[in-house]
Structure 1
Amino acid sequence: MAGEGKAYTRDTQYIEDRILDDPDARWPVEPGRYRLVAARACPWANRAIIVRRLLGLEDVISMGLCGPTHDENSWTFDLDPGGLDPVLRIPRLKDAYEARLPGYPRGITVPAIVDERSGEVVTNDFAQITEDFATQWTRHHRAGAPDLWPQELREEMDAVNKRVYTEVNNGVYRCGFAGDQQAYDAAYERLFTALDWLEERLATRRYLVGDAITESDVRLFTTLARFDAVYHGHFKCNRRKLTEMPNLWGYARDLFTTPGFGDTIDFTQIKQHYYLVHRDLNPKGIIPDGPDLSVWAEPHDRARLGGTPFGDGTAPGAIPEAERVPTSANPLVGTDGLVH
């Protein structure tokens, strides 16, 4: 985070090891060996939860979920009995970082991939984690899994992903943590210039790149899902609500009702995280009751633009019961864990 009177700058130095489809790699693809540690509250971790589900990797890569809040030291496993992750047997994600790099000097972030054998973090490079799920674990994808990184679209995806990351995914944080008025004004202008570009782009196409969902859609969706609930008010991204941007709002609802997207969203944890952790922005820790979530169920009419969510593939199936978002946290999720 930036200091007083400065623009917000994200720390992007990660543990960049990769799990590769190579038996001679330091970290080879191996079913049952690795654990995705995530938090439903975090948009960067939410990407990994979505991609894991879309590709059907639930039985190949286990998942541990931290609670929605954390202290200055670490995300914690306070959702689990006894406050311990049931597989790693640790109370704090920091313990896995320290097992890999004693005295780890940077922030403890999710998502992280942990080697279940050693208890060490393999990587916390969130962008590379999901790309590798799609490109290195292909032998273990479910039948009908979508191609989230189509070879013929990668150049266009790279350009779109770069702008979405710098101007939107990170842009909302640049607004929220601006250190002075000048930094905020500049961040606000950049964010809404990018949202205007996306609004125009999505007027004539159903998805960001190509005729089916790709990683690009996953990356944008996790920010849009949090926009009205958190970023509009808490981060002062308030020129317009998402519901007031017709094409982006229709696009977000289209994805929300696509299996693998909305069924991973826990609005309760999202609001708890931002409004309780960021006490510098919300000193009294009051969590707003709104917004009205029923609007996510309104018809989107995006099918008229063509394309199909999974291309030649199929939707993911049922969600493991232990991984379902409770209906109390997302009223559109049924008892089967799916959005209805």
Structure 2
Amino acid sequence: MAEEKKEFKRSLSHFTDRITADGSSGWPVEAGRYRLVVSRACPWANRALIARRLLGLESAISLAVADPIQDERSWRFTLDPDGRDPVLGIRFLAEAYLAREPGYTGGVSVPAIVDVPSGRLVTNDYPNIPAELATEWAALHRAGAPDLYPRELRDEIDAIAEDIFRDVNNGVYVCGFTRDQAKYERAFTALFDRLDALSERLENRRYLVGDSITVADINLFVTLVRFDAVYHGHFKCNRNKLTEMPVLWAYARDLFQTPGFGDTIDFDHIKRHYYVVHHEINPSGIVPAGPVLTEWTTAHGRESLPGSPFGQGTPPPAPPEAERVPPLG
């Protein structure tokens, strides 16, 4: 029997509760109550990490970092002493999912926000967490925090974010996981057509929407920063490397060198996760030695374009010592 050819389809978030400033959702914004669980390998979790850093929410929402290598029980806390998250006291993120919904058998994904007192998962609604942090958590933002989701620009941000999600963020996964040649080629074409359009958009403007960083830039950055290290070869997205697309490469370096972006990136976690966990794509489990990462710190020249990273705000301070990533090597 011929193998069935399936289109890659990203699962919708199963737990989409909101944490709201007024508490009307049943989950009120409250400093110290919630824990953000991430993998530094995961681009969807990286979005939440960047938003949390830029907005200065480190002291309001604690952070748990999972091992980049999953096992059959998914995300695990083997980076922590005794293999347990020191705040939640659990070995696997799945335990918080089960505390929320006993008998749950669906996927266990990051980012996840967990209610510390009860140990229950609140939300794994990865597309919306950054915007929620930017709006509902405003009372706890640091002084000088940027407005990542300006009310007057939301329609434009949402429209471009939808295009980026479909063709770029998710598009690289379709290229990597589909087993159908025609579907791969459609996704490949859509990916690079979108990257070409974004390059043209960014040629004379520093950021995607408006004159400062928004959630749209966060959404694009998390894929660009993984592109040459993973997606170009591992996912067969090989028309060009990022370093061969001058505008996007300069744009990505500009963001990487902006406090709150590059200081969330751990290339070791990224590479080991993709190349070790995806057995069907890389059965040898060999993790490539390249690319050269120090190029991320080279001059980008985009300071001359209109706009500034934080608008009328200020850069975030250095990350807490416990959350610092290894330097580029």
Q: Smaller-chain TM-score range? A: over 0.9
CA deviations on 1:163-182 (whole Å, 9 max, x unpaired) are 00000000000100011211
Tell me the equivalent position of 1:26: 26
Tell me the equivalent position of 2:261: 261
Retained in 1: the 8 A contact 2:13–2:126?
Answer: no
SS in 2 for 1:307: coil
The answer to which of 280-289 and 177-186 deviates more is 177-186
Tell me the equivalent position of 1:323: 323
The answer to which of 100-109 and 110-119 deviates more is 100-109
Structure 1 residues without counterparts, runs of 5 or longer: 332-340
Tell me the equivalent position of 1:226: 226
- Aligned equivalents of 1:69 and 1:176: distance in 2? 18
Tell me the equivalent position of 1:280: 280
- Distance apart, 1:183 and its partner CA: 1.4
Tell me the equivalent position of 1:79: 79
The count of corresponding residues between Structure 1 and Structure 2 is 327
Tell me the equivalent position of 2:51: 51
Matched residue type, 2:157: M
- Aligned equivalents of 1:81 and 1:41: distance in 2? 20
- Distance apart, 1:131 and its partner CA: 1.1
- Aligned equivalents of 2:32 and 2:312: distance in 1? 28
Matched residue type, 1:120: R
SS in 2 for 1:126: coil
Q: Does 1:121 align with 2:121?
A: yes
Structure 2 residues without counterparts, runs of 5 or longer: none
Tell me the equivalent position of 2:251: 251
- Aligned equivalents of 2:72 and 2:236: distance in 1? 24
The answer to which of 156-165 and 8-17 deviates more is 8-17
CA deviations on 1:184-213 (whole Å, 9 max, x unpaired) are 111111111111111111111100101000
CA deviations on 1:57-108 (whole Å, 9 max, x unpaired) are 0000001000111123220001101100000000000000000001213210
Identity level (%) = 61
Tell me the equivalent position of 2:240: 240
Matched residue type, 1:116: V
The answer to which of 22-31 and 209-218 deviates more is 22-31
Give the 4+ runs in structure 1 shifted more than 6 A: none
Tell me the equivalent position of 1:37: 37
Tell me the equivalent position of 1:171: 171
Q: TM-score w.r.t. structure 2 length?
A: 0.98
The answer to which of 307-316 and 71-80 deviates more is 71-80
| Cα RMSD (Å) | 1.0
- Aligned equivalents of 2:73 and 2:4: distance in 1? 22
Q: TM-score w.r.t. structure 1 length?
A: 0.95
- Aligned equivalents of 2:24 and 2:200: distance in 1? 47
Matched residue type, 2:179: G
Tell me the equivalent position of 2:64: 64
